[in-house]
Amino acid sequence: MKKEAIYHVPESRYSFAYGEHELHIRLRAAKDDLDDVTLIYAVKYDWLTARKTVQMQKSFTDDLFDYYTAVLDVPDTRIGYVFYLKSGSEAYYYSEEGLTVGYDHKKSYYNFFQYPYINGADLHRKVDWCGGAVFYQIFVDRFSCGDTEKDRTYINKRWGEIPDPKSFYGGDLKGITQKLAYLEGLGVNALYATPVFTSPSNHKYDTVDYFHVDKMFGSDEDLKELVGKAHERGMKIVLDAVFNHCSMLCAQFRDVLQKGRASRYYDWFLIRGDQPDPEEGNYECFAACRYMPKWNTNNEEVQAFLIDVALHWMRECGVDGWRLDVADEVSHDFWRRFRRAVKAENAQAILIGESWHDAAAWLRGDEFDGIMNYSFTKACIDFFATKTRDVQSFCDRLNELLMRNTDQVNEMMLNLLDSHDTERFLTLAGERKDALVLALAVLFFFPGMPCICYGTEIGMIGEYEPDSRRTFDWDARDELLTRTVRSLARLKREKIGGAAKIFVQGRLLCIERENVALVVNGTEETLTFAGQSCYHVIGARSYAVIDKEGSL
């Protein structure tokens, strides 16, 4: 037995409450090392008289490790537990004292693992609507122009021209409202819009006034109308919250520029010296962009101000959640306070952090619900677009990503193939639509919420931003991609759910969910798949969806 690989941590992604009386337990072991894993558990005060056992299942495997899982129904949630491991002729108990040949049950209260109590206030509750959510990301300036009577003097590009960093095209909120029927027909039931509040830029990530919609995009009433019309169609609206930084034109920063330390807002920012100097750059900012000074989110007044922004738009318009920009550079203290306020206003509002890396520290149930899953993005790029991973490596990576987080977090991850901040997937794939189709299939079957970047369904291309932020071509059509998104969206709403099992059979990637399975052939050859009571010939570079009864 490879003892050094055995790993478990209580009250972590290896031991977590999924519901008021449901515990999920995981154990890590070296790949193909253990023959049997038994979980011994009991209410910790009844250990000597009421112990139970359950056989743990090897549910996930990556390049180095196997992960065993068990789901416990625990009416009394004060649980102690110990593992019993077998590998060939070796057998060990695994407790807080490590691996031991025997185990003294009479003294177990010293060293069993424990989940002391499921407190409702600590439970990371899944947002009810996320299970069937199909997201669509919109870069507002580039999607659709609906207000033909607004001031258009700021527009400096014709619709369809290649963008540069300073391009303005005229897309607005009315344009989105007018296209809700199109989006509903595509199968979309949740929209994520990039920032809409007052800002001098086309992207609006440098906010000047958080309490008004930018006039380029319309009015506060236009936002209210968009949310209302979306809700009438059963669609959710998630807005972008830029709370890491603001514009240097923001009233609070302008006051500090003028008054220095005498300003009441001096401590709202992170300044080195008596007064901020944009030429010197003696203050914290986003990246190296001195025109976007960083909020001091350790300051309780700043926290209160930004929380008021979120609550204002939830109350005024009924927005259904927030995508949190540069979320991992903002203080944990602020996000905890922010979450409590948002969830008190609407427990079903979703909070999605922008983090491009392992964000387990933010996903413990007291900050974000999920993140933009760029690690998933990169895995799909590696396998389908650039072909730097083979099918086994891709499978291993997908399983590894699922083991980063709890099950409810996995279900609330915003999974994507590309966004306004990346190259378009189709461009990275050399404009091979078959590669995009396969990646879309995995996107919709992988646990979490699939997110389509505007224009994917018509084959939009683009290099790294700003090229990836082209305008939507409303005259373009792509029947293959549109049909693929529609059919996968329908499956997501109607059938795709439950636990996932991801494995390789031959050179095929298989993702089994509760009612359906996905079989992906990423090669240029025709391969076959036997399983789920059926035998189906899969064409070169194609996928098959198989339901529980074995029909296609």
Q: Is 62 exposed, middle or buried (0-12, 13-18, 19+ CB in 10 A)?
A: buried
Rounded distance between C-alpha atoms, residue 352 and residue 175, angstroms: 25
What does the pLDDT read at residue 552?
A: 39
In angstroms, what CA-CA distances link 48 with 40, 42, 95, 100, 118?
12, 9, 16, 19, 22
> SS3 of 257, please?
helix
- The reported pTM is 0.95
In angstroms, what CA-CA distances link 435 with 201, 382, 387, 409?
34, 11, 10, 28
Catalytic one of 172, 206, 214, 325: 325
Domains in the chain: ranges and CATH: 3-122 (2.60.40.10), 133-240+297-494 (3.20.20.80), 245-293 (3.90.400.10), 501-547 (no CATH)
Type of residue at 169: Y
> SS3 of 298, please?
coil
Q: State the distance between the two ends of the chain, measured CA to CA, in whole angstroms.
A: 42
Active site residue 512: no
In angstroms, what CA-CA distances link 40 with 25, 53, 66, 462?
11, 5, 19, 54
User: Comparing C-alpha atoms, which of 136, 205, 227 is closest to residue 414?
Assistant: 136
**pLDDT tens for the chain, residues 1 to 552:** 999 999 999 999 999 999 999 999 999 999 999 999 999 999 999 999 999 999 999 999 999 999 999 999 999 999 999 999 999 999 999 999 999 999 999 999 999 999 999 999 999 999 999 999 999 999 999 999 999 999 999 999 999 999 999 999 999 999 999 999 999 999 999 999 999 999 999 999 999 999 999 999 999 999 999 999 999 999 999 999 999 999 999 999 999 999 999 999 999 999 999 999 999 999 999 999 999 999 999 999 999 999 999 999 999 999 999 999 999 999 999 999 999 999 999 999 999 999 999 999 999 999 999 999 999 999 999 999 999 999 999 999 999 999 999 999 999 999 999 999 999 999 999 999 999 999 999 999 999 999 999 999 999 999 999 999 999 999 999 999 999 999 999 999 999 999 999 999 999 999 999 989 999 999 989 887 765 433 456 788 898 888 765 443
Active site residue 325: yes
Rounded distance between C-alpha atoms, residue 431 and residue 448, angstroms: 26
Q: Identify any residues that bridge with 236 across adjacent strands, giving them in sequence order.
A: 190
Rounded distance between C-alpha atoms, residue 5 and residue 530, angstroms: 34
Rounded distance between C-alpha atoms, residue 272 and residue 270, angstroms: 7
What does the pLDDT read at residue 497?
A: 93
Backbone angles phi, psi at 205, to 5 degrees: -80, 0
Catalytic one of 141, 147, 354, 457: 354
In angstroms, what CA-CA distances link 376 with 98, 316, 464?
34, 35, 18
User: Comparing C-alpha atoms, which of 265, 269, 278 is closest to residue 244?
Assistant: 269
- Give the sign of the dihedral formed by CA 495, CA 498, CA 504, CA 505: negative
